[in-house]
Amino acid sequence: MGKDGSGAPVGRRVVLGMLGLGAAGVAAGGYLQNGLDNLLASVTAKDPTGLSGLLPGGQGFRFYSVADSIPHRSAADYRLTVDGLVDRPTTYTLERLQAMPRTRLVRDVQCVTGWRVPHYAFTGVRLADLLAAVGVRPEAKALRFTCFDGVYSESLTLDQAGRPDMLVAYEMDDKPVTAAHGGPVRLYAAPMYFYKSAKWLSGITLTDRVQPGYWEHYGYDVDAWVGRSNGRTDVPTS
């Protein structure tokens, strides 16, 4: 069930939203001008249901981007800003993130559209460790994630973010996160559907309430637990 209590209207809102995005991708010029990155992005924006899975290098992943191209940022230029209701607003370089305690999780990746990648490793910094470093103020109740694609956003409650299986990830499959997968740094919300795992992560803002993310405006659940949301019965991995 969707959060409004019925599956079908949620599905229709999502589809309408995707059609709108597809039209925007065409208007922006799409893949004809700009090579493989934009091909990937425009195909996935217009057809998030599977065509992109035919493209090479996916390991079972579908590449998703709601932006009309894949943004690039080098490891040296990467920055993550943590601000809002914190004691010490901080901007992290990749090097500084990598110097923090490192956590490696192996779980099944589950997309809400059905595809699953079993037993896949993500490595990075626990959100909880990052939050401890900046000092969360008592009024803070939620996190808002923003991305350097300029479009996508996500959210977690403070309680959810404190779980040990919520990472700011800089490696997938023990290699640097590629640009297509949201590198240099993406979120990895292991117990939730993969739309929570914001790619091209550039900002974390502590807020006094949850601000629903990009897909959540199209009807996906804010609390996106695998197997317990979005009308789906997928089997969660621990």
Ligand X SMILES: Nc1nc2c(c(=O)[nH]1)N[C@H]1C(S)=C(S)[C@@H](COP(=O)(O)O)O[C@H]1N2
C-alpha distance across the termini of the chain, in Å: 22
What CA–CA distance (Å, rounded) separates 238 from 228?
13
Exactly one of 92, 148, 152, 195 binds Mo ion (CB under 5 A); which one? 195
Least separation in angstroms between residue 40's CB and Mo ion is 14
Exactly one of 38, 65, 155, 202 binds ligand X (CB under 6 A); which one? 65
Range list of H helices, the chain: 7-27, 31-46, 94-98, 127-134, 158-161
What CA–CA distance (Å, rounded) separates 55 from 53?
5
Please answer whether residues 10 and 4 qualify as being in contact, where contact means their C-beta atoms are separated by less than 8 angstroms.
yes
> Which tokens sit at 136?
């969360």
Q: Could you tell me how many residues of this chain bind Mo ion (CB under 5 A)?
A: 3
> x-or-dash pattern for ligand X, window 133-172, by CB under 6 A?
--------------x-x--x--------------------
Does residue number 194 form part of the binding site for ligand X (CB under 6 A)?
yes
Does residue number 62 form part of the binding site for ligand X (CB under 6 A)?
yes
Single out the segment in contact with ligand X by CB under 6 A; choices: 76-84, 86-94, 190-198, 225-233. Answer: 190-198
What CA–CA distance (Å, rounded) separates 156 from 223?
8
Exactly one of 31, 78, 170, 195 binds ligand X (CB under 6 A); which one? 195
Does residue number 232 form part of the binding site for ligand X (CB under 6 A)?
no
